[in-house]
A and B are shown apart, each in its own frame.
Chain A
Amino acid sequence: MILTEFKPMEELLEKLKEEKKIFIMGCGGCPEGADTGGKAVLTNMKGEMEKEGKTVTGVIEIDFLCQKALIRSRIKPRLDEIKNADSVLVFSCGLGVQATSAVIDKVCYPALNTITFGGITGMWQGTERCDTCGDCILDWTGGICPYTACPKKLVNGACAGQSNGKCEIDPERDCGWELIYNSLKRIGKLDRLNKFIPPRDYAKILPSAALRKTRLWALDEEEIV
């Protein structure tokens, strides 16, 4: 099971401060088990958003958000609610946010941080990859993860090594920033590229201090205790 945790409410509200109307999407897969999803969580968030004076145009839970075809078919009857929203708030791992962003032409805000894959990489693995960085920034990058789409993990824009939209390390591979630019252009949000993103906090992907001192090999043991 992929483990996720809630983004701090303060951070989420800061991200959403310009957004008036929000559509909420939840993944019915891993987040249900991790207590970061499920009907109760989504309903609770709807209330929180309304408390902040925002309109929630709709709430939907889909079995798995890591599968684009499934998302497409399930949102079909709900397109009006999505169209009415300024943006989408997504309760899923990074894979789900990426798949959702690929399907919906709005900024998709991650409501969760992905902590670990716990041995699997999505119930319905697609082409998306999540780095389990524990500090999801997909809303800034058009739903494409710069940590997995760019070999240099660049977060403030492309390097000069790309050629014809392809990566300097492999002419077969798309430049991740080419994808990010085009995705933000598609949803009319190129201004998001101007934000300076500070260095990532690697402490967020490591196990807790207690687990760290036992080294990674002792994870199993810790879980049993």
Chain B
Amino acid sequence: MIMESIKKSKFEKNLRSGKFAVTCEIGPPKGAEVEEIKEAAEYLKDVADGINVTDLQSSVMRLGSLTTCSLLKEWGLDPIFQVTCRDRNRLALQSDLLSAYVMGIRNVLALTGDYTTIGDHPQAEPVFDIDSVQLLWTIKNLEEGKDLAGKELTQKPSFFKGAVVNPGADTEASYELQIIKMKKKIDQGAQFFQTQAIFDAEVFKRFMERVHKENIDVPILAGIILLKSERMANYMNKFVPGVFVPEPIVKKMEGTVDKVSMCIEIASRLIEEVKPYCAGVHIQALGWEKYISAVVKNLK
């Protein structure tokens, strides 16, 4: 691997330029076959400013985020390295961050991570040595040239650092805690946010009003999931923490045989509705990467 001298990523430059940003997501495969993600990357190359690479999403064992980020780089895309605190203690996390920097990866998204028991290795030890706010603090330390033990680093890494927030928290406590934690994340260095997937533009609007009231001016990308079927909606409502699909959208999906067109319509409309309130969108296609260009065509 070659140490790259570039300081700012393409994604950071685009987001800072004020252009409406689009990020997408690639979930590494379960196994060593990378043809499928290569194909997905081809679809995303011209539509996305940055590509999130999930870190064992839903606590399912897969190919690693770091390696996949490195492949994306090789293929000419700008990866966003998702890092969760579920599987690595502070030694491994710091080490992987340094590795990412050496591989030329400049965007990091700091997350807590889903709990182990919701995935396919419920027997595994849940690590959670540090939390997402502390992870951002850790990155800040590394950027200042020190590790968490206070030891000097030979070279300082530098990242464009992101974090996640849920605009749809459903109790007073969880809603307020999202705002409080968001501010803590900014204090510890978060430079952009991607939100948990939303399906209700009103919920997002209300959230953004609150964000403005709190004088938070970090760019926020609204999370959009491509809904493939009513079955997927019901599944997410039941099993995916923090995601909620309202009944009218489920009904719309139920009422059509052309799921692809409906999927594109739902996502496009949602993006149109949230666009005035945010800096960009983060689209999770979950295998339907080839339809993203249709979803975002009105943005270009």
* Set A156, A158, A196, A198: member contacting B178, Cβ < 8 A: A158
Q: Are B173 and A182 in contact (CB under 8 A)?
A: yes
Count of interface residues, chain B, beta-carbon cutoff 8 Å:
41
Residues 157-172 of A, flagged 1 when their CB comes within 8 A of B and 0 if not, give 1111111110011000
* CB of B160 closer than 8 Å to a CB of A: no
A152 and B129 CA atoms in complex are apart in Å by 9
Query: How many Å lie between the Cα of A175 and that of B170 in the bound state?
Result: 12
Mark contacts of A174-188 with chain B using CB atoms, 8 A cut-off: 1 yes-contact digit, 0 otherwise.
010110011001000
- Among B117-156, those with CB < 8 Å from A are 117-118, 126, 128-134, 137-138, 148
User: Does B171 lie within 8 Å of A164, measured CB to CB?
Assistant: yes
Binds A, one of B25-33, B46-54, B181-189, B280-288: B181-189
Q: A165 near B174 (CB under 8 angstroms)?
A: yes
Contacts of A197 in B (CB 8 A): 134
Q: Whole-angstrom distance between the alpha carbons of A194 and B126 in the complex?
A: 26
Q: How far is the CA of A193 from the CA of B181 in the complex (A)?
A: 9
Complex Cα–Cα for A162 and B86 (A): 17
Q: How far is the CB of A173 from chain B (nearest CB, A)?
A: 11
Q: Tell me if B255 is interfacial: C-beta within 8 Å of chain A.
A: no
Q: Does B273 contact A (CB under 8 A)?
A: no
Question: Looking at the complex, which one of A152, A158, A181 makes contact with B115 (CB distance below 8 Å)?
Answer: A152
B137 to A164, Cβ gap below 8 A? no
Query: Are B115 and A178 within 8 A (Cβ)?
Result: no
Asked if A153 is at the interface (CB within 8 A of a chain B CB), the reply is yes
Contacts A156-B134, A199-B90; is A162 near B174 (CB within 8 Å)?
A: yes
Question: In the assembled complex, which residues on chain A have CB atoms less than 8 Å from the CB atom of B118?
Answer: 168-169
Residues 190-225 (chain A) with a chain B CB within 8 angstroms: 190, 193-194, 196-199, 202
Q: Is the CB of A178 within 8 A of B112?
A: no
Please give 19 more A-B residue pairs, beta carbons under 8 A apart, in addition to A152-B113, A199-B148: A155-B134, A156-B181, A157-B133, A157-B177, A157-B184, A159-B241, A160-B164, A160-B196, A160-B241, A161-B241, A162-B174, A165-B171, A169-B115, A177-B177, A181-B176, A190-B176, A194-B180, A194-B184, A198-B134
- Which 7 pairs of residues, A with B, have the shortest CB-CB distance? A161-B241, A157-B181, A160-B166, A181-B173, A156-B133, A168-B241, A160-B242
Residue positions of B touching A, CB distance < 8 A: 85-86, 90, 112-115, 117-118, 126, 128-134, 137-138, 148, 164-166, 169-174, 176-178, 180-181, 183-184, 187-188, 196, 241-242
